Structure 1
Amino acid sequence: MTDPRRSERPPAPDRLPVPVVDNHCHLDIRRDEAPEVPLDRVVAEAAAVGVDRLVQIGCDISSARWTAQVVDEHPALLGGVAIHPNEAPRHEAAGDLDDVIDEIADLARRPRIRVVGETGLDFYRTGPEGVAAQEHSFRRHIAIAKELDLALQIHDRDAHEDVLRILAEEGAPERTVMHCFSGDMEMARECVRRGYYLSFAGTVTFRSARGLRDALAITPTEHLLVETDAPYLTPTPHRGRTNAPYLVPLTVRAMAATLRTSVPQLCEALSANSERVYGSWD
């Protein structure tokens, strides 16, 4: 039986002392049980708790087009566009993978699109038959990010070694972000050694995520970002409900506790890192 509380919106957390960026959210995706919330309200609710800038990610061709439109309409938004790894085999089967990636490249040239992503590899949902299409798509997205001098956001699910291998083979862009970092301490150290940014989502608050918190604990603050991946990965104590950018403070405070640093200091670092990766929202 479905828990009726899953459709309830969690209460707003306490406001952060210094504004931060939700550097990865999907504002066009609505979960079945969630009430529809107008975009203006989503942005206002986030700003009210100190999340005053958002990076909207469009990861299929329709959401990429939508992203390119809404970031021009809302000053609090910057955008990212890509073909998600799980979409790549479908387009390969349809014979239009390179065509849709060409359109992604065109959309990425717009001034308020600052990210190519999320791209990468996903061996959880896509089996061996889809690996070649995912790798081809990943390599093309890397090339676009480097050509346009944009940040690259990486989706990595059950594919750590291959993601790192392809980034090394192709040469990672100057600003590479491991979206929703899910690796261990060893991987965190390798990513930091390469100069990548590690973005932590609500998963870092889960009771079962001790290994993820260990990875966070050894990551220098100058390599850290925070995200919701909304509407997914809602932080504790609201796990299972629909996520939204206004819940970022829960993750930030959990990160500060793991790092044994103050919330204001961490917020300052997260904000500065975000501007360094994506540029100004002005």
Structure 2
Amino acid sequence: MSLPLAQPLYDMHCHLGFAEDPASLAEALGARGVGCWSQTVTPQEYEYLSGLLGCSAWRDSGECARVPSALPPLRLGVGLHPWWVPTDACECRRQLERMEPLVGAVRWIGEVGLDFARRGIASLEAQEQAFQSVASWCVRSGGKTLSIHAVGRGAAGRTLDLLQGAGFFADGSNRAVFHWFSGSSDELVRARDAGCYFSVGPRMLQTKRGRAYASQIPESRLLLETDLPPLADGAAATVQAAMGLPDSVDLRMPQWSVERSAAFRGEPSEVASTCASETEADTMAAALVEALAALSAIRGAEPSELARIIGETSRVVLDC
């Protein structure tokens, strides 16, 4: 196992449900000094993971029992990702009916939002209906934090339209975090002025626009993210069932397999699952360190001081 980081870092947008063994990955991240906010893409995935990780929607603390209290925190968001908004109107309504009581009970909501760029997903009207419903439920309950996916021309602006139209920012109790912001510079200013936070990872910082935006985000609104791990081959069937998706939907993404992880570490195949979690945790921790180093260079900041500031902001968002 790798040594813990010099100080805790917080992955504010990841997908533990895409791992071969989400619970083992959560424990491995905690042991490395990494706190995280894990997103889900459907309410079914949230229900599945909350049981697996021991973080029930009905626990006021929102803490996950699989990560000891002495380690950095793990939070689980309930989500309906725009890629998984059903195209069928009746099924979309059923998904929203399933999600509504969860949003009322959970403080952290994610991944939700709009995608105007990807083909083959629900209409913009269906996506907007889903996101507007989530925004209105958050306003009704108060004290919510959203992790927002906004991709494609005008998507960031439209999410802000729907949030502000619902009164999401009105009483100051709700927070919005834009994951991997890719909107226009005007939309960035608008989101910043609304008080939004921004989670930034290595892939965002590989682009010229991403680096420019990272220099303009207020220091007190910066968060780190990895958007990892990718969906493991061996987990595809379990994740599909947890998300309520048919077998015909292929969710697999290029990534290391469990067997490759074991071979990489020189371990026998019978401990491959543990090795996969260790490798994934190392990769995610390294991605956070990489993002922090890139942000420090872009902003001319001292890395340990920037880590301290981002850590404080992360703990506020995670309520810990």
- Shorter-normalised TM range: 0.7 to 0.9
Question: In the alignment, what sits opposite 2:203?
Answer: 203
**1:169 paired to 2:165:** yes
Question: In the alignment, what sits opposite 2:234?
Answer: none
Question: In the alignment, what sits opposite 1:235?
Answer: none
- Per-residue Cα deviation, 1:150-176 (whole angstroms, up to 9, x for no partner): 111211010233223222322334311
Residue pairs, 1:1-282, within 5 angstroms: 16-30=5-19, 36=20, 38-51=21-34, 53-69=35-51, 70=53, 71=55, 72-75=64-67, 76-90=73-87, 93=88, 95-110=90-105, 113-126=106-119, 130-148=123-141, 149-158=143-152, 159-173=155-169, 174-206=174-206, 209-232=207-230, 245-247=284-286, 248-280=288-320
Distance in 1 between the 2:120 and 2:22 partners? Answer: 35
- Per-residue Cα deviation, 1:57-86 (whole angstroms, up to 9, x for no partner): 111132111232223432332110121112
Greater shift in the superposed pair: 181-190 or 254-263: 181-190
Secondary structure at the counterpart of residue 28 of structure 1? helix
Secondary structure at the counterpart of residue 7 of structure 2? coil
Distance in 2 between the 1:40 and 1:222 partners? Answer: 31
- Per-residue Cα deviation, 1:171-212 (whole angstroms, up to 9, x for no partner): 334311111222344332221111000111221332xx0111
TM superposition score normalised by structure 2: 0.70
Secondary structure at the counterpart of residue 107 of structure 2? strand
Preserved CA contact (<8 Å) 1:116 1:144: no
Which is higher, the Rg of structure 1 or of structure 2?
2
- Per-residue Cα deviation, 1:22-70 (whole angstroms, up to 9, x for no partner): 111111114xxxxx4x33542344345432x111111113211123222
Secondary structure at the counterpart of residue 199 of structure 1? strand
Preserved CA contact (<8 Å) 1:121 1:157: yes
Write the letter of the residue equivalent to 2:183.
G
Preserved CA contact (<8 Å) 1:20 1:50: yes
Distance in 1 between the 2:158 and 2:15 partners? Answer: 25
Secondary structure at the counterpart of residue 77 of structure 2? strand
Distance in 1 between the 2:119 and 2:161 partners? Answer: 19
Preserved CA contact (<8 Å) 1:54 1:78: yes
Question: In the alignment, what sits opposite 1:5?
Answer: none
Contiguous gaps of at least 5 residues in structure 2: 56-63, 68-72, 231-253, 257-279
Question: In the alignment, what sits opposite 2:58?
Answer: none
> In percent, how many aligned pairs have the same letter?
24
Distance in 2 between the 1:203 and 1:156 partners? Answer: 16
Change (3 A) 1:253 1:241: farther
Distance in 2 between the 1:107 and 1:81 partners? Answer: 7
Distance in 2 between the 1:256 and 1:184 partners? Answer: 23
Write the letter of the residue equivalent to 1:262.
E
Write the letter of the residue equivalent to 1:162.
R
Shift of 1:251: 1.3
Preserved CA contact (<8 Å) 1:56 1:67: no
Preserved CA contact (<8 Å) 2:180 2:204: no
Contiguous gaps of at least 5 residues in structure 1: 1-10, 31-35, 233-239
Write the letter of the residue equivalent to 2:203.
T
Q: Which runs of 4+ in 1 moved over 6 A?
A: none
Between Structure 1 and Structure 2, the one with more helix by share is 2
Greater shift in the superposed pair: 67-76 or 218-227: 67-76
